[in-house]
Structure 1
């Protein structure tokens, strides 16, 4: 009978959790304060003159859409003015009710109704009613009365909100329509499509679009690069992901998150030796300040052949510094690290700390086996008793130890 626990059956295969930071969808998809003020000023001027708002730069010069004449009538202008007065005075309920009335009034022109839908959107968005906000945006687009800048801006915001609300298929339809009709090639627009494709797990397509956005930007945002890196990871392109992670880390040598990302990418690409090297450099620089930092490194070592001694050193340091939580996982990893680096005495000590914290009696049984291998029969029997009491898959293994000769 094999007295000793085998490496394959007992070695802690701790999961190495990636810490990649994806490009999150910003909550700030609605108008900024300055945009809102500009819109109000334009509305006031429009209402005063009953003509179109002052011309601004065309943000979509290549658009296939012919912009309609944006003009308020005398009848509609008065209604818009009343709605805007309520909006300016932050009377949200009144502003929204008036916006609804204008939208429903088919005797008013498309510009007036679309403009009201914009205000309805803003009121709903400010109230965190994203479902209603998206419906107002759809109405503003469908009524088709806004100038190209406003029309396409609202379409872009709708795509973002749909993405935020995890309506990925709908968001893709919207962003594709936006890009096709506006003919925009701006990186901040392309990245939304890339993000949607990523969420839809269409990784090759996502990578192509995200890379296009990054290449088109003189200063691509770090979260865009992180998104591309994550896309490569999920698409099983570990080498490509590693290149990006290395570039980001090289530019930010003191950024802990960037360095952890490199280690995570290396780990997921099965380049554990490189992951360990990055983490060791961070440990030496005093950047291990959290429990998860030590777990990341000792887990990496435990998944590398012959690195159990290094794992034990990392765990011991983390425990001594009070950073690594002294829980079951840490102690059982320490016990196994010592055992497989031929430090049986220290392994027994660690097992004695781990066993009472274990969810079942398997750790007591491993303790019994190690004690048996060291000819500490009485202690082995006591551990076997504890194993049976706590519950093991194979009670006969523990009973065999109890049947050993010796007290």
Structure 2
């Protein structure tokens, strides 16, 4: 008869999955006040049909830009719309924009420009779906210069990504890159992001790396997205290199260090994960329940590190950071048991068993008590196991049949 819990079954029960704590990759950046004012000035000049030639932001574009001119009638209507826009009367401005868009008597430029303003107003009002609809109209009318036209297209790709329209975002990004021939990293990354969301990880990694390589100072969020793509594609070593580089630049950034540990864990480099986590703990940065769980789970999955796991759990409980729940106590019991601290293991099992979802923990407690020749206590634990429910009641009944009170 097997008197004691097996190492495999108990340690698997205690293992805690670790997850990367990446910051969300920015999909649409809200305009700050300076950018918004600049955009307003540009829109105002455009509505007047300004002859000032703006810098061509897409010099390699395949599209031939149409003449951007407003008619006398259309110009007056656009001016009225922009007066509302400048005074931040969004509802009035949007109503005029809708009127211009719906009237086929207005030319392509006037309707495209109205749709562009409608998109900005909808976006400012947190109505991204409406903004996307306006941007589609702006592109369909095809009346804007290349800056406006492709600016609308890029904004649409970002908003589609934000709205979880990943396939549409990828299609828009592909069209944008094909028609502009842009190699700017801020444009390339949107395509990589969409590919990642579509779970096309090899393609995503390639696209994201292209954006990073094109940038003199790639954003940390981009590197994190590449790291996540590598992990999803089972390229743990490549992910680890990126995580290490990020962490090296920010040695005091807890999130960066925890990410390194998580990547190591997912790449089965648990010894390295433990070293990183111990550094974070030594720095006094274990301030959350999940921090302690990540470290003790790492130790429990390393041979011969049960004593270290017990120390981590005990510290977390004593500091009041690690929650005193079933998972913590059963892990502590197992840690003590496999580090030959049987008496402490029994105490921990006694705390874990009442919190367990079934009677299996009581049964393990009964087995350990039997091993220590504490027969009456073993029988009581076996009774509790049966009452709470176990997969193999015969195991508990054999303990109940033992001689002794």
The match for 2:79 is 81
The match for 2:361 is 363
Structure 1 130/219 Cα, relative in aligned 2: closer, same or farther at 3 Å?
same
The match for 1:257 is 255
Question: Contact 2:189–2:211 (CA<8 Å) still a contact in 1?
Answer: yes
The match for 1:61 is 59
Supply the distance in 1 between the matched residues of 2:113 and 2:91 (Cα, whole angstroms): 17
**Which aligned pairs between 1:188-207 and structure 2 lie closer than 5 A?**
188-207=186-205
The match for 2:5 is 5
Structure 1 47/270 Cα, relative in aligned 2: closer, same or farther at 3 Å?
closer
Question: Contact 1:197–1:205 (CA<8 Å) still a contact in 2?
Answer: yes
**Which aligned pairs between 1:272-291 and structure 2 lie closer than 5 A?**
272-291=270-289
Structure 1 255/22 Cα, relative in aligned 2: closer, same or farther at 3 Å?
closer
- 1:117 and 2:122 are equivalent in the alignment: no
Shift of 1:46: 5.0
Question: Contact 1:43–1:53 (CA<8 Å) still a contact in 2?
Answer: no
2:395 is aligned, of 394, 397, 406, to: 397
- 1:101 and 2:107 are equivalent in the alignment: no
Residues 75-117 of structure 1 show CA distances to partners (whole Å, capped at 9, x for unaligned) of: 0011101111222223222221211110111111111101100
Corresponding residue SS for 1:3: coil
Residues 253-280 of structure 1 show CA distances to partners (whole Å, capped at 9, x for unaligned) of: 1111111111000000011111111111
**Which aligned pairs between 1:338-353 and structure 2 lie closer than 5 A?**
338-353=336-351
Structure 1 389/74 Cα, relative in aligned 2: closer, same or farther at 3 Å?
same
The match for 1:245 is 243
Corresponding residue SS for 1:106: coil
**Which aligned pairs between 1:3-402 and structure 2 lie closer than 5 A?**
3-11=3-11, 12-21=13-22, 23-28=24-29, 32-45=32-45, 51-402=49-400
Alignment: residue pair count: 404
Supply the distance in 2 between the matched residues of 1:33 and 1:286 (Cα, whole angstroms): 39
Supply the distance in 2 between the matched residues of 1:183 and 1:153 (Cα, whole angstroms): 14
Bigger drift between 4-13 and 209-218 goes to: 4-13
Residues 60-88 of structure 1 show CA distances to partners (whole Å, capped at 9, x for unaligned) of: 11110111111111100111011112222
Question: Contact 1:214–1:225 (CA<8 Å) still a contact in 2?
Answer: yes
Structure 1 46/267 Cα, relative in aligned 2: closer, same or farther at 3 Å?
closer
Shift of 1:305: 1.6
Shift of 1:39: 4.3
Query: Considering only aligned residues, what root-mean-square deviation do their CA atoms show, in Å?
Result: 1.5
Question: Contact 1:272–1:304 (CA<8 Å) still a contact in 2?
Answer: yes
Supply the distance in 1 between the matched residues of 2:394 and 2:368 (Cα, whole angstroms): 17
Residues 174-215 of structure 1 show CA distances to partners (whole Å, capped at 9, x for unaligned) of: 000000001110001101111111111111111111111111
Which ranges in structure 1 are unaligned for 5 or more consecutive residues?
none
Supply the distance in 2 between the matched residues of 1:397 and 1:46 (Cα, whole angstroms): 83
Q: TM-score, normalised by structure 2?
A: 0.96
Shift of 1:27: 4.1
Structure 1 219/47 Cα, relative in aligned 2: closer, same or farther at 3 Å?
closer
Shift of 1:380: 0.5
Question: Contact 2:27–2:161 (CA<8 Å) still a contact in 1?
Answer: no
Question: Contact 1:225–1:244 (CA<8 Å) still a contact in 2?
Answer: yes
